Structure 1
Amino acid sequence: MILSEQTGLANVKVMFDTFHALYRNEVPSDYVYRMADKLHHVHISDNDRLPPGEGRCDFDAVLKALKDINYDGYLSM
């Protein structure tokens, strides 16, 4: 369960940063699917805070996951 769900409040959303998933050696797109309806903001950054595409993140998979969940929020970098 993610922290926003533990609050029990519908107006508590989450921000996802791809860097943190990469730092933990996890798959960023998995987080997108897990957060789905709670996802409000996405910060995209490759490992070592490199620009997208200059490190090891599979941004195609992240963008596909965002499309799959019909994400219509902000992407920042």
Structure 2
Amino acid sequence: MKQRIRHLCERFPRYGYRRIKVMLRRQYSMQVNHKRVHRLMCILSSKNTRKNRVFLPIDLTGTFHRCFINACFIL
């Protein structure tokens, strides 16, 4: 399985662990757990690992806080 994951990561460098899991199922008919794929990708030291999401401060009205905008543009 490691060789197949490595092959898919080289072929599709922008794919994350979830897409790699889908490709394993489609191309190789393998039913694998997404957690196992993620763990193996980390072991293989692939650059395709989970990324943290960035959340911006937004009011209940859907607008940015003024202090956040001022802090960004004062610098």
Pair in the same fold by TM > 0.5: no
The structure number with the bigger radius of gyration is 2
Report the structure, 1 or 2, having the larger helix content.
Answer: 2
Highest relative contact order (Cα 8 Å, sep 6+), 1 or 2? 1
When normalised by structure 1's length, the TM-score is 0.31
Q: How does the TM-score come out when normalised to structure 2? A: 0.32
